[in-house]
Structure 1
Amino acid sequence: MTSLRHIDRSDNAYLDAARACLLDLGWRRTTLTEVARRAGVSRMTIYRTWPDMPSLLADLMTREWTQLMQAPDFALEIDDPAHLPGDDLVSRVVAIVRALRDNELFVRIVEVDPELILPYLFSRRGRSQDLVLQLLVPAIRRGQKEGRFRAGDPAVIARGLLLTAHGFVLSAQTMLDDDVTEADLDHELALVLTRSLAP
């Protein structure tokens, strides 16, 4: 499993301050100096951990999305991802997509600073995306052993599921109108994933 940089209690306080800044000011107006001011520490204290805003933002997003995936409602077992029953996988993915789409930090980034998301769509995977894949692969492998899912490389299947979910997270708002609701799209995502995994 890809290791995430350990975030201790003080770092969490600084990330809380950074989160508040982003929600209030947006990315362009947030500085390490402002984060330090809100956290009640010196600027050098922040600089010792994060040399610049992109590195701080990366840790903030990793913490935010990881906490979301670890929420009890989703029952995704980080320590034992194979524990996730195969028949629950689709409903868990749809629930996470819905929660991410509604997350206030994610919504703020998409509305005000959408360019922050672009590197994770066009250039590289982020740590949170790797974490999702690390959860999906064992669950898919288990579903295959139980005969619930089709044959194939679990790593490839997991990446296909993640790419599918991207669209339902990032572009769902463009598909909503008087004829189609978010609930309709969530139902459609569940159908797409179920048929993609069907043996």
Structure 2
Amino acid sequence: MTPIRHNGSDRSDRSDRSDRSDRSDRSDRSDSDPVLDAVRDCVLAVGVRRTTLTDVARRAGVSRMTLYRRWPDVRSLVGDLMTREWIAVAVGAMPEHRPGSNARTLIVDGLVAGVRAFRAHPLFRKIVDVDPELLLPYVLDRRGASQEALLSLLADHLHEGHADGSVRAGHTERQARSLLLVVQSFTLSLRTMTEEDDPELDSEAFLAELRTTLERTLTP
């Protein structure tokens, strides 16, 4: 979840433009980028704080200078890794259009599946367990690239829902942001509320509650 925007001051706006410019100046990050694959292996093995650019370069089979031309430090590299991984999870969770299904059903199914997939994702679990402070800025201070991508994805589906009548009319961007706030809280904090030995309070019970919440929020 690399940073895209600080909401607030002119200074943060300038920082955002600089961040976006810096990101666009780097070479393309494809899903098969060997450097991002290498840093993923490093983080899964030892966590972010113990990962070094030397370790990543060695695993990727490139020089440290090659990395420095693209990323100034490990955190920026891990940021791009998180962006790649989180966007892939979010996009992969959204179901294909099915005959007879409406946009609201696809949104709800996708968001519930997304929460489940995020919580099971090995990189997400490693960061939450070992380096949770990496996620705090995107919860408390700013939106990141993966959050922006998910908002765009949600907005597209909400527009479809407004058009087919399955989603209540409303400000599309506000609705998308509200949905993201809900699913983020379930993704990040669910384990603080669950009792896995109690079927009435286990993860699946809460995901069913999330489904109900989303359905009632979106139904006209």
Q: Does 1:29 find its partner at 2:50?
A: yes
Structure-2 change in CA distance of 1:192 and 1:152 (3 Å)? same
Query: How big is each residue's C-alpha offset from its partner over 1:3-24, in whole Å with a ceiling of 9 and x where there is no partner?
Result: 9853147x71011110011011
> Could you tell me which residue of structure 2 aligns to residue 74 of structure 1?
94
2:144 corresponds to which of 111, 122, 126: 126
Q: Conserved in 2, the CA contact under 8 Å of 1:76 and 1:135? A: no
Q: Conserved in 1, the CA contact under 8 Å of 2:190 and 2:203? A: yes
Q: Does 1:61 find its partner at 2:78?
A: no
Query: How big is each residue's C-alpha offset from its partner over 1:10-57, in whole Å with a ceiling of 9 and x where there is no partner?
Result: x71011110011011111111111111111221111111111112111
Q: Conserved in 2, the CA contact under 8 Å of 1:70 and 1:76? A: no
Q: Conserved in 1, the CA contact under 8 Å of 2:95 and 2:109? A: no
Q: Does 1:162 find its partner at 2:180?
A: yes
Q: 5+ unaligned residues in a row in structure 1: which ranges?
A: 78-83
Q: 5+ unaligned residues in a row in structure 2: which ranges?
A: 5-19
Mapped to 1, the partners of 2:30 and 2:181 lie a distance apart of: 32
Identity %, equivalent residues: 46
How is 1:36-47 mapped onto 2 (pairs within 5 angstroms)? 36-47=57-68
Structure-2 change in CA distance of 1:149 and 1:103 (3 Å)? same
> Could you tell me which residue of structure 2 aligns to residue 80 of structure 1?
none
TM-score by length of 1: 0.88
Matched letter for residue 166 of structure 1: Q
1:187 Cα offset (Å): 0.4
1:86 Cα offset (Å): 3.1
Structure-2 change in CA distance of 1:75 and 1:91 (3 Å)? closer
Q: How many residues matched?
A: 190
Mapped to 1, the partners of 2:168 and 2:149 lie a distance apart of: 23
Mapped to 2, the partners of 1:68 and 1:145 lie a distance apart of: 26
TM-score by length of 2: 0.80
